[in-house]
Structure 1
Amino acid sequence: MTDLNIQYTTTDDGAGIAYAAVGRGYTVVRMSAIVGSFLTYWRDPVFGAIGRRTSDYYEVVQYDGRGWGLSQRDAADFSMEARLKDLDAVVRATGRRRLALYGDEWSVPVGVAYAVQNPGTVRHLILDGGFARAADVAPWAQLKPLVELCRTNWGLGSKILADVAHPTRAADDTTAQRLRNIFKECISGESMAEWFAEAYKMDVTDLLPQLRIPTLIFHRRGDQVVRFALGQELAARVPNARFVPLEGMDAAPSAEQFQEQLQVIHSFLRPRSRGRSPLAASVSRAETSTILFTDVEGSTALTDQMGDAEARQLLRQHERITRQALKAHGGSEVKAMGDGFMASFGSATKALECAAAIQGNMAATEVRVRIGLNAGEPIAEDDDLFGTAVIVAARIAAQAQGGEILVSDVVRQLVAGKGFLFSDRGNHALKGFEEPVRVYEVNWRNA
């Protein structure tokens, strides 16, 4: 199982926020949920499958809010303002100019407020099992005993929270205990009580008519925490929102249920485009485009060994060298991803020459970079590229070692007779593909 490359960023008011990005494609920022560290969920056999499946198609960015999980625990300000700062710090850390927000339950009001404040960055909003006003979920008199129980007996309080949020899973002792541990270990009972007190103040009712971006709203008919009617009311107040009712009672779907949900998300995030960006036009003019991915080997270890500042200096070398090579060889930077790049070329020859130039210049540094290339007909939308050709290129890059360039057989055939030397690395089983893919290593030192 692929683990996460955990990084830290700092909010405007100095709180340290842990986040991780996994996958390739259009960026979807998954807002921090009511409780539970994203790392714990990722490693969970049930919930992790949902995240991994999503990252097969998109770049998924996850984070822990201040006060819980891997983020700064002593910065326990759970106000709406603080939660917006957490989200903004993560969005800025990604470097993405356009992205989608995905929020569920108690993170929905935060997503609404951020989208209204940042319409240029947030291009799609997905809300799952949410509400506009927290006071509509339950009267405070009904919640107060649970809040006090969290403060005085967090063991019992976390059990009740987990069982209420996931009633069908509570019937299975192993799953139920795992969920209770997720709740209990990521936050203290005192902080949980403070979180509830602040969350109960949230009300974005007046902001809903101001949403002017595509909005997709899911809600489960049997939701035991946030009534189905609250999801319907949310959808009614958002202009042109798409409402999709789902079956089930639990706060989170099973992996099988989420697969159906993912198909709806695909159709929402990837509609048939009416207009074309310059990137889309350049892609459509060529029969095929060659997609190049770079990825810094061991970027997490570099940070651990050298510290954030020194590691960042090394990563800047990769960024400078890559951008210079793209400019020199006619490549288009699709996006930078912290420790890697995605780029496209109208010529496979130029793409390989660029890859060789990157490796040649990186060889004089302390950083080792993996590069993978594939060619095909990607889909261009919102200055990004999608489709099988892109996914295969990313998977091939992941197979490389630092200092290597690996390519698909399609790329090898496109540059036949151009003087490149290849070594056959055999068939590789790439994640998400039934058929193996033939991979070749480029002898770039003699290119």
Structure 2
Amino acid sequence: MIVFTGARYARSGDVNIAYQVVGDGPIDLVLVLGWVSHLAYVWELPAMARFLQRLASFSRLILFDKRGTGMSDRVHPLPTLEQRMDDVRAVLDAVGSRRAALFGISEGGVMSALFAATYPDRAAGLIINGSYPSRLLRPGYPWGIPAGKFDQRIAGISETWGQGLGMEAYAPSQLQNPEVAAWWGKFTQMSASPGDAEDLMRMNIQIDIGGILPTIRVPTLVIHANQDKVAPFEAGRYFADHIPGARMLELDSIDHWPYFGDADLVLGEVEEFLTGARRASAPETMLATVLCTNVAQAGAHAVWLGGRQWHDLVDRHHSVARKAIARYGGREIEAGEQGITAVFDGTARAIRCALEIRDELLELGLRVRAGLHAGECEIAGGRPRGVALHVASGVMAAAQPSEVLVSSTVKDLVVGSGLEFAERGSRELTGLPGSWGLYAAGRDQPERGPAEPERPLVSTTLSRREHEVAQLLAQGMSNREIAQRLYLSERTVDNHVHHILAKLGFDSRVQIATWLARK
């Protein structure tokens, strides 16, 4: 698997341009991304990494950060298109490439087209994806945005930069995928500062290359989604109509970015355009251990705490889980108010991660169920999918609160790891055929039969301080408010809440309040 292994630098005048070369194919291909980029973090989105890996499988792929963005030197004032073209030449010289094809995505298509027109001896071909000859409405080009409307957009950039906004235009198909939104927010922050982003946007709206398109004399492929919300489809058609001999591929898609549902189609067309042939793309698969977690009594927590406090607790839950997932080398697939799904390429690490998440969340007064299963996953749009995810979800549903439950497959894969298990018998999992052997992970697991009640009461005797804390919990006070009332640290109150839940065998504050009311 190709990953980012470090940037090299080409000198363009007195500016350092960061670049990376991957692959050893027969043709050099320069990928020019949109208005901001970050050479290292671009690999952190699985769909994007898969896209880049496929390009590198049939080319020598050359990636770089334009001056003023990412890992290249920041410059003021921001560069002109001519200076950025000089940067491309400097990178080509640094990697020993006399001639290369250019693949420009979004704003990168503008610079790629201008480079091909200006330096035809160094451009072997041109691919323009989701781009535009002009962002603004101009005479003879009615598909741009009125200048006043664009000014309104620019005015809000500095206030919202880094929040992951714009997904509804860039990748509407991924709006329910938190991984993409989180990546985009961090990607923008790492690529440019809010002020630089605003300046770059102002520079981009001044671009108009419509007049130079007829001078391009290199083979050209134009790719454009017919429902693109960033660059209208007519912009792509304009390129195809005005560049001599250009061929156009229309995508039936709502996404501006080509990295998701249409990735295989786009990559196949690009490969055939550059090499004269395309390979059949077999489904990519991987063996992965899937972890699913679920907050016990999540609905009751939400009702009892109220919207704001519940969302604060969800944020703390996600923070704990994500730190553990990152520490154990996992990858988050999905996150919701009730839990997180992640995949790991190491089974023992996945189990240890689940145990750590469980233990740390107990300190927040949250009991989670966790389920793990290992199996083959198909990679679609850069994300794993398949039966293994369904099995892990079923295993999780069979777990008791505060229990990490694994399938027999997972247990068998970690023989000799030092991990301990208690047998939980065989279960039928919802929606899945047959019965599945299940085991509880962790030390000192009590043996229990499948028919045993979910959480037997352990003790109903609370200490005086625990009873005070329970009374205040029943009044709807947060741990912080209880700490202030009783002159305790918030961490001490967290521990009291954990002990109360453990003693009473409860999963939520609602159950504590109900128990006190009955007493």
TM-score (norm 1): 0.57
Contact in 2 for aligned 1:6/1:19 (Cα 8 Å):
yes
Q: Alignment partner for residue 199 of structure 2, among 191, 194, 201?
A: 194
User: Among 238, 241, 249, which residue is 2:246 paired with?
Assistant: 241
Q: Counterpart of 1:96 in 2: which secondary structure? A: coil
Whole-angstrom CA distance in 1 between matches of 2:192 and 2:167: 13
Aligned to 2:87: 86
Shift in Å, 1:47: 0.8
Give the structure 1 partner of residue 29 of structure 2. 28
8 A contact 2:133–2:208 mirrored in 1? yes
Q: Distance in 1 between matches of 2:173 and 2:99?
A: 37
How many residues end up aligned between the 2 structures?
269
Match of 1:150 in 2: 157
Quick one: which amino acid aligns to residue 3 of structure 2? D
Residue 18 of structure 1, CA deviation: 0.3
Distance 2:218 2:132 in 1: 18
Q: Match of 2:61, SS?
A: strand
Pair 1:182 & 2:187 matched: yes
* Cα separation, 2, equivalents of 1:85 and 1:251: 27
Partner residue in 1 for 2:444: none
Q: What is the CA–CA distance in structure 2 between the aligned matches of 1:256 and 1:150, rounded to whole Å? A: 28
What CA deviation, in whole Å up to 9, does each residue of 1:354-407 have, x standing for no partner? xxxxxxxxxxxxxxxxxxxxxxxxxxxxxxxxxxxxxxxxxxxxxxxxxxxxxx
Q: Is the 8 A contact 1:80 1:198 kept in 2?
A: no
Distance 2:232 2:133 in 1: 12
Asked whether the equivalents of residues 33 and 107 of structure 2 are also in contact (C-alpha less than 8 Å), the reply is no
Describe how 1:320-335 pairs up with structure 2 within 5 A.
none
- Tell me the equivalent position of 2:227: 222
| Paired AA for residue 19 in structure 2 | Y
Query: Does the Cα contact within 8 Å between 1:150 and 1:193 map onto a contact in 2?
Result: yes
Q: Retained in 1: the 8 A contact 2:2–2:22?
A: no
Letter in 1 for 2:157: C
Displacement of 1:138 in angstroms is: 1.6
Asked if structure 1 preserves the Cα contact closer than 8 Å seen for 2:169 and 2:228, the reply is: no
CA distance in 2, matches of 1:131, 1:200: 11
Aligned CA RMSD, in angstroms, stands at: 1.8
2:16 corresponds to which residue? 16
CA distance in 2 between counterparts of 1:79 and 1:163 reads 29
Could you tell me whether the CA contact under 8 Å between 1:15 and 1:75 is conserved in 2? no
Say whether the 8 Å CA contact 1:66–1:75 is kept in structure 2: no
Q: Which moved more, 1:159-168 or 1:95-104?
A: 159-168
Change (3 A) 1:3 1:266: closer
- In structure 2, the residue matched to 1:59 is 60
Q: Contact between 1:130 and 1:230, CA under 8 Å: does it hold in 2?
A: yes
Does the CA contact (< 8 Å) of 2:33 and 2:106 recur in 1? no
Correspondence for 1:278: none
In the alignment, is the contact (CA less than 8 A) between 1:166 and 1:249 conserved in 2? Answer: yes
Q: CA-to-partner distance for each residue in 1:275-314, whole Å, 9 max, x for gaps?
A: xxxxxxxxxxxxxxxxxxxxxxxxxxxxxxxxxxxxxxxx
Which segments of 5 or more consecutive residues in structure 2 lack a partner in the other structure? 138-143, 278-519
Residue 174 of structure 1 and its aligned partner are, at CA, apart by: 3.1
Distance in 1 separating the partners of 2:167 and 2:82: 26
For the 8 Å contact 1:78–1:194, the answer to whether it is kept is: no
> Partner of 2:125 in structure 1?
124
In structure 1, the gaps of 5 or more residues are 273-447
Deviation at 1:102, TM superposition (A): 0.4
Match for 2:214 among 209, 219, 228? 209
For CA contacts below 8 A with separation 6 or more, give which structure has more relative contact order: 1
Identity fraction in percent: 24
Mapped partners of 1:165, 1:259: distance in 2: 18
**Kept after mapping to 2: 8 A contact 1:78/1:199:** no
For the 8 Å contact 1:67–1:76, the answer to whether it is kept is no
What corresponds to 2:146 in structure 1? 139
**Would the aligned equivalents of 1:163 and 1:176 in 2 still touch at CA under 8 Å?**
no
Offset at residue 129 of structure 1 (A)? 0.8
Letter of the 1:18 counterpart: A
Pair 1:167-2:190 in alignment = no
**Which residue type is aligned with residue 171 of structure 1?**
Q
| Range 174-183 or range 204-213, more displaced | 174-183
Question: Contact 1:116 / 1:207 at 8 angstroms: preserved in 2?
Answer: yes
CA contact (8 A) 1:166 1:250 kept: yes
- 1:86 CA displacement: 2.1
1:67 maps to a residue whose letter is: G
Residue correspondence of structure 1 range 213-362 to structure 2 within 5 A: 213-255=218-260, 257-271=262-276
Counterpart of 2:351 in structure 1 is none
TM-score when scaled to structure 2?
Answer: 0.50
The whole-number CA distance in structure 2 between the counterparts of 1:173 and 1:3 is 22
SS state at 1:212 partner = coil
Residue deviations 1:47-98, cap 9 Å, x none? 1110011111111101111111111124551322222222222122222112
- Please show how residues 413-424 of structure 1 align to structure 2 within 5 Å: none
State the shift of 1:186 in Å: 1.6
Separation (CA, whole Å) in 1 of partners of 2:167 and 2:197? 13
Q: Which runs of 4+ in 1 moved over 3 A?
A: none
CA displacement at 1:159 relative to structure 2: 2.9
The secondary structure found in structure 2 opposite 1:168 is: helix
Aligned counterpart, 1:2? 2
| Alpha-carbon displacement from aligned partner over 1:101-129 (angstroms, at most 9, x marks no partner) | 00011111211111111111101000001
CA distance in 2, matches of 1:97, 1:142: 42
- The 8 Å contact of residues 79 and 199 in structure 1, kept in 2 or not, is answered as no
**Counterpart residue number, 2:513:** none
**Aligned mates of 1:97, 1:9 — CA distance in 2:** 15
Deviations 1:131-187 (A, max 9, x none): 1122143222112122121234424xx533344322221232332122222112221
- 1: distance between equivalents of 2:251 and 2:10? 35
Which shifted more, 18-27 or 65-74?
65-74
